């Protein structure tokens, strides 16, 4: 009897957790067509969208569905940030701090970052690296298991970087030996890169991140300089492909951008000094540019409060104007772009502040929204689960006031966020 009662109770709990929901959207942005549907209905069954039609049609079809009244609001697909670092943070961060943060401390400190990102409407992220190898894998798995709250994560496990390169810590004395998990992806030469990528893949990552050129936020690394050779990048791409994975290439230097595209990378991260050849290759090969635009201003405006090494700020100031000119040219030429913010350079949860910058750099509001939805899903290889509001995909929704196709800044203040059919933020009561 007890067993039977327990089974019935569990059944009841399961049913109560996932009733059919019917969202009544005042306006629904169809990111695929660019059209706005008025008084639309979105039927959610469990964690997936099961139908999209006029609200009246769906209300007649499913009269017992639990209704979510969003008349007066605009509903969009959950956003995707293709470049975050949920295991890092902005204010007070210094590279040597990684030495006193254990992997478990790093993981625990990432929990609020994951929640802030989700509540900002970013229901999916491609997390572009962690110094302590595979903390991101553990974070992704804990989120998927429902242990903690956060966005769906695509993770890369560790930075593949040359010795002393942009993915290294480089802040300790030359006689200080770093633990292996802080240098997991360090490799020199194509064979060593192959071995590192094989080991990284074996640990359950979703993509591979290579540091092709120097970096801004690494001691002694020069962003305009080539670091990995073309052969090393190609070795990483081949090994990733053998595992069915794509490669994201951090590349500021024009030569590294060309090397990475020709070696088969799926995305160029940053792309700060991209030249005409790089722009043409992005378009010809349909490689996405994932470039962080908001964090330049954030860094300069908060330089005194960040507590970062002076070298980081000096490089940022020195290259600001040059990067802006190169990137505006790439945007104007129609290079394929995705939304990637380098979250952790600025505080997690402010991801949507980059929308206004995407527009300032030349996109229309609709194109900016596409960069964070349908394009980003394409880059991740996740178009079958996220990026649009369509039957069969996860019910990931962002709800805002006003018209984001006129003013993208309204995307900075979501009124409601739904992930997998579950309401994770609801500010409707305080938004009027």
Binding site for Zn ion (CB under 5 A): 128, 342
DSSP 8-state secondary structure symbol assigned to residue 397: E
Report in angstroms how near the CB of residue 312 gets to Zn ion at its nearest: 13
Nearer to Zn ion, 55 or 131 (CB): 131
Q: Which residues contact 346 (CB under 8 A, 6 or more apart)?
A: 90, 294, 295, 298, 299, 353
Closest CB to Zn ion among 120 and 128? 128
Burial of 390 (0-12, 13-18, 19+ CB in 10 A): middle
Which long-range CB contacts under 8 A does 138-146 form with residues at least 24 apart? 138/107, 139/86, 139/87, 139/107, 139/110, 139/114, 140/206, 143/114
CB of 159 to Zn ion, least distance (A): 9
CB of 272 to Zn ion, least distance (A): 12
**Strands of the 416-419 sheet, one edge to the other:** 48-54, 36-45, 21-29, 66-77, 397-400, 416-419, 422-426
Between 21 and 252, CB nearer to Zn ion: 252
Instruction: Indicate the residue among 128 and 386 with the shorter CB distance to Zn ion.
Output: 128
Provide, rounded to whole angstroms, the least separation between the CB of residue 335 and Zn ion. Answer: 19
> Rounded to an integer, what distance in angstroms lies between the CA atom of residue 39 and that of residue 73?
10
- Take residue 130 and report the two structure tokens written for it: 């962690």
Question: Do 162 and 228 meet the contact criterion of CB atoms below 8 Å apart?
Answer: yes
Name the residue whose CB lies closest to Zn ion.
Answer: 342
- The CB-of-114 to Zn ion minimum distance in angstroms stands at 16
Q: Which two tokens stand for residue 296?
A: 């330049």
HEC readout, 110-142:
HHHHHHHHHHCCEEEEEECCCCCCCHHHHHHHH
CB of 250 to Zn ion, least distance (A): 7
Judged by beta carbon, residue 21 or residue 353, the one nearer Zn ion is: 353
Q: Which lies closer to Zn ion via its Cβ, residue 341 or residue 373?
A: 341
* Cα distance between residue 56 and residue 58, in whole Å: 6
Strands 337-339 and 288-291: parallel
Q: Which is nearer to Zn ion, 182 or 399 (CB)?
A: 182
Distance of closest approach, residue 83 Cβ to Zn ion, in angstroms: 6
């Amino acid at each position: 009897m007890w067993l039977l009662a327990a089974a019935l109770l569990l059944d009841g709990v399961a049913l109560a957790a996932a009733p059919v929901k019917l969202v009544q959207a005042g306006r629904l942005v169809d990111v695929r067509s660019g059209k706005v549907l008025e008084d639309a209905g979105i039927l959610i069954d469990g964690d997936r969208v099961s139908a999209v039609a006029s609200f009246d049609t769906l209300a007649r079809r499913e009269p017992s569905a639990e209704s979510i009244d969003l008349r007066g609001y605009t509903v969009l697909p959950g956003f995707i940030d293709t470049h975050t670092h949920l295991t890092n943070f902005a204010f007070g961060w210094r590279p040597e701090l990684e030495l006193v943060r254990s992997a478990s401390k790093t993981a625990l400190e990432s929990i609020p970052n994951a929640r802030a990102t989700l509540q900002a409407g970013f229901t999916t992220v491609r997390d572009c690296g962690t110094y302590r190898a595979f903390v991101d894998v553990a974070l992704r798995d804990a989120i998927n298991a429902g242990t903690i709250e956060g966005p769906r994560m695509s993770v890369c496990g560790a930075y593949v970087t040359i010795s002393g390169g942009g993915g290294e810590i480089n802040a300790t004395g030359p006689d200080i030996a770093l633990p292996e998990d802080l240098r997991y992806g360090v490799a020199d030469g194509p064979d060593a890169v192959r071995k590192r990528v094989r080991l990284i893949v074996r640990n359950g990552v979703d993509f591979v991140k290579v540091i092709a050129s120097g970096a801004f936020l690494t001691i002694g690394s020069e962003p305009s300089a080539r670091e990995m050779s073309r052969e090393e990048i190609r070795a990483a791409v081949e090994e990733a492909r053998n595992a069915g994975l794509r490669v994201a290439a951090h590349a500021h230097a024009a030569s590294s951008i060309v090397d990475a595209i020709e070696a088969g990378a799926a995305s160029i991260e940053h792309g700060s000094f991209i030249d005409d050849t790089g722009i043409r290759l992005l378009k010809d090969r349909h490689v996405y540019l994932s470039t962080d635009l908001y964090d330049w201003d954030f860094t300069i405006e908060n330089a005194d409060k960040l507590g970062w090494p002076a070298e980081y700020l000096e490089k940022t100031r020195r290259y600001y104007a040059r990067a802006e000119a190169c990137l505006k040219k790439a945007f104007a030429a129609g290079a394929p772009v995705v939304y990637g913010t380098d979250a952790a350079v600025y505080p997690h949860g402010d991801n949507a502040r980059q929308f206004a910058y995407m527009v300032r750099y030349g996109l229309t509001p609709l194109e900016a929204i596409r960069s964070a939805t349908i394009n980003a899903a394409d880059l991740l290889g996740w178009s079958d689960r996220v990026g649009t509001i369509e039957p069969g995909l996860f019910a990931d929704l962002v709800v805002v006031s006003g018209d984001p196709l006129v003013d993208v800044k309204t995307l900075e203040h979501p009124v409601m966020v739904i992930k997998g059919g579950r309401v994770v933020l609801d500010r409707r009561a305080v938004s009027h």
